[in-house]
Structure 1
């Protein structure tokens, strides 16, 4: 679990008071070698972080400090891989919080200094970087770094009292810009979340994409809790500043209640809130011949939407020929997420456990208002790039000098937390159109969409669902539904041919019904003719 986190985070980054203090001992009491050293105590409250963010947004932007770049520029992936945090120096290795915190070292891909403090009541002390916290070879360039340069990020290890060895297992990590990740109930890292997305996909030049940073963190134990920890963060970027509070629960799934207060310096063309980012290379739907030995490679295979009107929608992801932004307009959505629905190991055959990657779901805790869930899909030719973003974008134009409050719960789980009771889409397949035994016509594509469960498993014998279809352009033919001949109750498929000319994308919509009864969630698909 940890090795895969390190590998993926560093590859993506290239593209983009301990217990003693709780008992009142002074900072000097734990300045010994192998234990953490702390700075002077300073007043702390989340509202003070909010005020700092507000003040930052009213001033000219100052980029984060990059200490000793002549050293960190030589700490490539291999060199950083030699540096291991000493778990005996972990924050809360002996309490009071249940989850010890360990720290990421600066390196080539993560050169920005991140300040990390620990909260004790209404005071906080910064954790001072020292080489003694890390094991590293004598010839590693990091040996040249002075004390106090800061960290790149941090992660929480599993509970000291749990069944897993906390020194070898972690469950959440914050590293790089405003990125953070957590494992799901299947004990595997996968997709990431971000604090905010600013001008992704360059919607209105010269408003190029920005990557604001969580420049300072405060870690806080939750009194008397065995499964929670709190993190506060200060975010800053060229066009925005913000204060974030994360109440994180390590349960069967990982839950994060997020309170975000965001202030704008400048106008923002695309203001992405509660963003998720993932990787989709290929699946059984579209795969170039012999592009890779594995059948499928993706951290997520679709976008799920639960609209304000109550409709459940499934939109399979694409590896697009060019960057595409899709918008799903809504008012007060009930939730959305990037999911990994395909859990069959035989569909991946890879030891990095794509079949166990978590799904992430955004649940608004206060109404989001009017806007759209926007999905950005970017072409990729490898699995090391995050090429998918899903986020909430308010309808109103975002100008400098504005303030926003957003409260939501982020679920890291195996599945969406509020699944529909209708049949769910479990596969999207395509091939040449036409009928067997005849010459296949040019420009005709056959689609087979599989649904499973819900009312489908209770259909009376002899009842065949009706396929309800619509398209932005083109014509349908050979449309029918049938039970998938695998003996699984409630497993049906809709089959249809689409005839279309020209290269422009085609937006399709499909669901199954009998009479006035809707049997399945709604399948949306963006087809790129080829």
Structure 2
């Protein structure tokens, strides 16, 4: 498995927010807690409530900018930063009988802040001091003399025996702002999650909160099966937060997340359980300059949403010509996620990136999140090194000081699951452009029950086309190869001003929806798509 630092940097060289004119992040480093706060509460066993109280108290005072890391680390480029290697034999818990061991990321390059780290052992808190002695500087021999003995850590990664019983593989990493990512058995790193999103894709610019302090709970003997618990303190100009992650690796790596958020200021839009991924092109993309010899290049190929009504909706990802934001009302949300449904190597042909091994990530609310919407943001991108896909839940409730927020959920890092949805789902979306005024779509549906249906079984396709286009033709039939059903249809673009004909980017996206109805009255998931004349 590749080192997470290499994979993460691939996306962070040009941060996600810069593609939509968002503000540069002001990060937080070390916080000196006030008397009686979480880090000093030694009289009782340390629990999540200590972190929650610390976040609540911190929200009553203004945000404090972080201290600077040494100038020598600011100047590091990516290649030089990569040459600084953590010494595996110095891993925390590495020489104990713990099923986990922890390694640290060196600050520098884009990671221009450090985080405070603690370990909780038997309810007692001890600081984790990260010093130069933990790193190999043999390829950057002039650097150590320019650094203090205690350099701190930009983040950390956790290793355990997830693939074989005898080797501890890296399976989860916390590094950069509130970003974290994980893998399940047999997977490679792909998409990321974040603690919280603030004003994503808004004109005033996005604010990026930071996990500035962590507490890692040492599992009690015999408790490894219950996973590893990590507490985190979130901070930014607009809010603070307390998070608890209970992380259980395996064929699915599961994270149970508890979050308490305390606004400092009114916030226009807050994104809960935000996910960030990459889509350069796929089977649904029109031919273009972004493509190379590989058939597809993406970490995730679409958004899946399970609504309170019971409907399942699949929205294939696209790489748009201009910023594209889609919103889906989702009161009493059951779940959402960015999935990599395509898990066939032949559709990628990349022996290094192995995109077919990238995880899907499914978010399941624990408790009722109330009214709100799921939002998907797609950003134009010319290279696969950039994150350009985001998805999150936006609550309707007002976010303002004195109104703390509580959102608990489960994250499932897994291979594209056949049980999401449990019925008939979309397996591929393909498109062509016969001429500048039309588009043709081929959508394949598959499900466990379909191959067993009698040859005479039928499916009725229900296709909806939004303003700006009309349905020209449609056909639905059994796919003799897959045993599923194939829907084909064509649309024609309508209207458009002279300016829009000259500048097609000025035209609004046209919403398309389709689903299948079967003889037994059941329905497939809903296929949802946005298409703009003149765009891929």
Question: Match for residue 13 of structure 2?
Answer: 14
Residue 500 in structure 1 maps to residue 500 in structure 2: no
- Answer yes or no: is 1:312 the counterpart of 2:312: yes
Q: 1:48 & 1:66 partners in 2: Cα distance?
A: 27
**13 and 432 in structure 1: CA distance in 2 versus 1, 3 angstrom threshold:** closer
Which of 456, 460, 471 is 1:462 aligned to? 456
Aligned mates of 1:479, 1:272 — CA distance in 2: 38
What secondary structure sits across from 1:159 in the alignment?
strand
5 Å-filtered alignment, 1:14-413, equals: 14-16=13-15, 42=42, 44-68=46-70, 70-137=71-138, 139-159=141-161, 162-166=164-168, 169-202=169-202, 205-206=203-204, 208-223=205-220, 224-227=222-225, 228-289=227-288, 291-350=291-350, 351-413=352-414
Query: For structure 1, which segment, 414-423 or 232-241, has the greater mean C-alpha deviation from structure 2 after superposition?
Result: 414-423
Q: In structure 2, what is the equivalent of residue 481 of structure 1? A: 476
The superposition leaves residues 450-504 of structure 1 with CA deviations (integer Å, 9 ceiling, x where unpaired) of: 1012443233323331110112122112211122242x32x21101110113432
SS at match of 1:450: strand
Normalised by the length of structure 2, the TM-score is 0.88
1:160 to 1:285, Cα distance in 2 relative to 1, 3 A: closer
- Equivalent-residue separation in structure 1 for 2:418 and 2:53 (angstroms): 34
8 Å CA contact 1:99–1:160 kept in 2: the answer is no
In 2, Cα distance between the equivalents of 1:161 and 1:371? 39
Local SS of the residue matching 2:423? coil
Residue aligned with 2:267, SS:
coil
What residue is the counterpart of 1:447 in the other structure?
441
Aligned pairs for 1:404-443 (under 5 A) are: 404-416=405-417, 418-433=419-434, 442-443=436-437
Superposition TM-score, scaled by structure 1 size: 0.89
Deviation at 1:131, TM superposition (A): 0.8
Contact 2:163 2:185 in 1 (8 A): no
Cα 1:170/1:140, change in 2 over 3 Å: farther
| Cα distance change on mapping 1:65 and 1:146 into 2, 3 Å | same
- Is 1:184–1:357's contact at 8 Å kept on the other side of the alignment? no
What SS does the aligned partner of 2:184 have? coil
Name the SS for the 2:52 alignment partner. helix
Are residue 512 (structure 1) and residue 529 (structure 2) matched? no
Shift in alpha-carbon separation, 1:456–1:297, aligned structure 2, 3 A = same
* Contact 1:258/1:410, CA 8 A, preserved across alignment: yes
**Quick one: distance in 2 between partners of 1:302 and 1:232?**
30
- The SS at the match of 1:53 is helix
Contact 1:454/1:519 (<8 A) preserved: no
Q: Does the aligned pair in 2 maintain the 1:411–1:417 contact within 8 Å?
A: no
How far off is 1:140 after superposition? 4.4
Q: How far is the alpha carbon of 1:515 from its aligned partner? A: 4.7
In structure 1, distance between residues paired with 2:418 and 2:47: 32
Whether the 8 Å CA contact 1:74–1:141 is kept in 2: the answer is no
Give the secondary structure class of the aligned counterpart of 1:128: coil
Paired with 2:198 and 2:402, the residues of 1 have a C-alpha distance of 15
Shift of 1:272: 0.3
User: How far is the alpha carbon of 1:221 from its aligned partner?
Assistant: 1.9
Structure 2 gaps of 5+ residues are 16-38, 497-506
Shift of the alpha carbon at 1:177?
0.2
Q: 1:353 to 1:135 in 2, by over 3 A?
A: same
Question: What is the RMSD of the two structures over their aligned residues, measured on CA atoms?
Answer: 2.0
Contact 1:428/1:447 (8 A) holds in 2: yes
SS at match of 2:368: coil
* Aligned counterparts of 1:289 and 1:271: Cα–Cα separation in 2: 35
Aligned to 1:521: 525
Q: C-alpha deviations, 1:86-141, integer Å up to 9, x for none? A: 12211111335311000000012101111111111232111112111111125242
Q: Distance in 2 between matches of 1:98 and 1:300?
A: 31
CA contact (8 A) 1:181 1:191 kept: yes
Q: How many residue pairs end up in the alignment?
A: 492
Tell me the SS of whatever aligns to 2:8.
Answer: helix
- Structure 2 match to 1:22: none
- Compute the displacement of 1:171 (Å): 0.2
Residue pair 1:58, 1:401 contacting (<8 A) in 2 also: no
Residues in 2 aligned to 1:99 and 1:161: alpha-carbon distance in whole angstroms: 13
**Inter-partner Cα distance in structure 2 for 1:219 and 1:143:** 31
User: Alignment partner of 1:518: what SS?
Assistant: coil
Per-residue CA deviation, residues 392-441 of structure 1 (Å, 9 max, x unaligned), is 110123223320111111000002484223221011111134xxxxxxx6
Q: Which runs of 5+ in 1 are unaligned?
A: 17-38, 434-440
Q: In structure 2, how many angstroms separate the alpha carbons of the residues matched to 1:299 and 1:380?
A: 14
| C-alpha distance in structure 2 between counterparts of 1:301 and 1:524, whole Å | 13
